Amino acid sequence: GGVYHANTAGAESRARPTIRCKHVTFAPTGQGWAASTTEGVMVYTRDSGLAFDPTDLGEDVTPAAARAALKSGDARRALLMALRLRGADGEGALVRDVLEGTPPDAVSGALQGFPASLLPALLESLSQRVAGGPHVQLMLRWTRELCVAHGHAIHSAAHG
C-alpha cells in the first residue's frame, strides 16, 4: 500500500475557527454590549453614530492605575482612565470614586483638553450623581466646569 494524497489546492476550507467568549457586558443604556473573545473584543451597539476607539484601551489603563493617578493629583488622567473602563465594574464605581475624590479646585484643570468622544459618558455619569447623594455640590461644580469648558461642543452635538 501507498499513501494517497488528494490534490486540494484551491479548495475552500469549510472548517471554521472555534471562538470562545470569556466575558460579556451590557451597556447600562441597554443599547449595546461587548464580548471578550479569543478573537478580541467585539463591540455591538444600536447607535450607528457611536465611535469605539480601541486605542483608548491599553494594558496601562486599569482601575489601580486610575486610583493611583487620582492619589498623585492627576485627576484628568484618572478620569480619562475611569471613563474608558466604565462598565467594567458593573456599577460605574471607579468613575464615581474619581469624580468624588477630585478636589474642587482641581475640577477645572481635569476638564481642560478633554476628548469630545468621552463627553457623553461624563455627562451621563454626572447626571446620575447630581440628583442626590452626599456630594451634590461637588457634582454641580463638575457640571458647571464641564459646561464652561465644553458647552459649545455639547450644544453642537445635541443640535446636529
Same domain (yes/no): 154, 107: yes
Same domain (yes/no): 42, 67: no
CATH number, domain containing residue 89:
1.25.40.190
- Nearest C-alpha neighbor of 78 from the set 92, 59, 97: 97
Give 55's pLDDT tier (boundaries 50, 70, 90).
very low
The answer to whether residue 144 sits within a structural domain is yes
pTM metric for this prediction:
0.64
Across all residues in the chain, what is the average pLDDT? 81
Q: Give the DSSP letter of residue 46.
A: S
Query: Regarding predicted confidence, which is higher, 65 or 2?
Result: 65
Same domain (yes/no): 26, 103: no
Residues 6+ apart with CB under 8 A from 88: 25, 63, 94
The answer to whether residue 9 sits within a structural domain is no
Percent of the chain at pLDDT > 90 equals 36
Same domain (yes/no): 83, 135: yes
The answer to whether residue 4 sits within a structural domain is no
The answer to whether residue 97 sits within a structural domain is yes
By residue range, what is the domain housing residue 152? 58-158
What span, in angstroms and rounded, lies between the C-alpha atoms of 41 and 65? Answer: 21
Same domain (yes/no): 83, 41: no
The answer to whether residue 12 sits within a structural domain is no
| pLDDT 10s digits, 75-119 | 999 999 999 888 666 558 899 999 999 999 999 999 998 888 889
Count of domains forming the chain: 2
